[in-house]
Amino acid sequence: MGRQWRSAVAHTRTRMGEALFRRVAGPSGPENRDRIHLTPGPRWFPADGPVQRVHGDAALFVGGLAALLLQSLHPLAMAAVAEHSDYREDPWGRLQSISTFLAFTTYGTAEDAQHAVDRVKAVHRTVHGTAPGGEPYAAADPVLLEWVHDAEVSCFLGAHQRYGARRLGPAEQDEYVAGMARVGAALGVRRPPRTVAELGARLTAYRPQLRGTPQAREAARFLLRRPPVPWPLRPPYAALAAAAVDLLPEWARAELGLRPRLPFERRYTRLAGGAAVRLVGWVLRTPPGTPRRPGHGRSAAPSQ
């Protein structure tokens, strides 16, 4: 009976992991996974270094949601997303593009990482227009590029330090920020921050430019109240989303029209968020006895 139960659990876990992988990685996921892990050559980041540890942990799901919410508070960045992205009609497609980019730059060869960057830069050159307030925007603007980069790095690292299985020490946190500076610079960010202290100072400097526009609040409602996930997955998604909101500073939550959380709510939010992260990590973890590819491991990017 015990062996049958363990077999049933393993089968369920495998099916859940495959379903989640398909959602996150998209139809090209298996092909990309093999190319990322089986192609020989130098990588941008060392195996098991801070960048791979952060991006290979299920806490990245929390960090990714928090980053989307925080990034939306720059009116020009949000206008670019609202007018040039079909995130409402095809939210999984946008997630798949982001996760594939992360996987190639984090785990792929240096050549494939640069190709991924070049593809994103080509898209950025086509994204420009005028925000509802009348101000022009361009996705290739170094100011907007840095805001998106800084918010992403801050949220990824913050989520990992709160929910990650193997948290980073102070020097490793600076190493993570410096590693991500390589990606940011490749995308066109001028002088991206290289330490946690510098990252915090840059985020503070952006504060006067940030506000919760109607577009930003609509995006937050979509992510938090109308998530594009099947009903059986709503409870764990809700826990991840609440954990993402909890990562945001108070002013950001207020700008997005989200009420402040009471102290007892924060405690339960973090407990539920931690449980949801562990569940995702368990689903995505390679089952015992499964052959492992070079660099293969538990990853929130499509490197599973």
Please give the Cα distance from 178 to 217 (Å, whole number).
32
Decide: helix, strand or coil at residue 137: strand
Whether the Cβ atoms of residue 280 and residue 21 lie closer than 8 Å to each other: no
More confident residue, 51 or 5: 51
Q: Calculate mean pLDDT across residues 227-232.
A: 76
Average confidence (pLDDT) over 255-281:
91
Arithmetic mean of pLDDT over the chain: 88
Query: Greater confidence, 266 or 20?
Result: 266
Residue 96, pLDDT score:
85
Q: CA distances (Å), 271 to each of 193, 239, 275, 300, in order?
A: 32, 9, 6, 20
82 has pLDDT over 80: yes
- Give the DSSP H/E element, type plus range, for residue 192: none
The 3-state DSSP class for residue 138 equals: strand
pLDDT confidence band for 265 (50 / 70 / 90) = confident
CA nearest neighbour of 173 among 189, 187, 159, 190: 159
Least confident of 128-137, 160-169, 223-232: 223-232
Q: Where is 261: in which H helix or E strand?
A: none
| pLDDT number for residue 35 | 95
Name which of 298, 279, 203 is nearest 248 in CA terms: 203
Query: Taking the complete model, does pTM exceed 0.75, yes or no?
Result: yes
User: What pLDDT shows up at residue 226?
Assistant: 83
Residue 109, pLDDT score: 98
Q: Of the given ranges (144-153, 167-176, 265-274), which has the lowest mean pLDDT?
A: 265-274
More confident residue, 301 or 265: 265
Report H helices in the chain: 2-25, 29-38, 50-55, 60-71, 75-84, 91-107, 110-124, 142-163, 170-187, 196-206, 214-225, 234-247, 250-255, 263-284
Q: Give the pLDDT score at 286.
A: 58
Q: How far apart are CA 177 and CA 202, in angstroms?
A: 12
pLDDT one-digit tens code per residue, 101-120: 999 999 999 999 999 999 99
pLDDT at 219: 93
In three-state secondary structure terms, 130 is strand
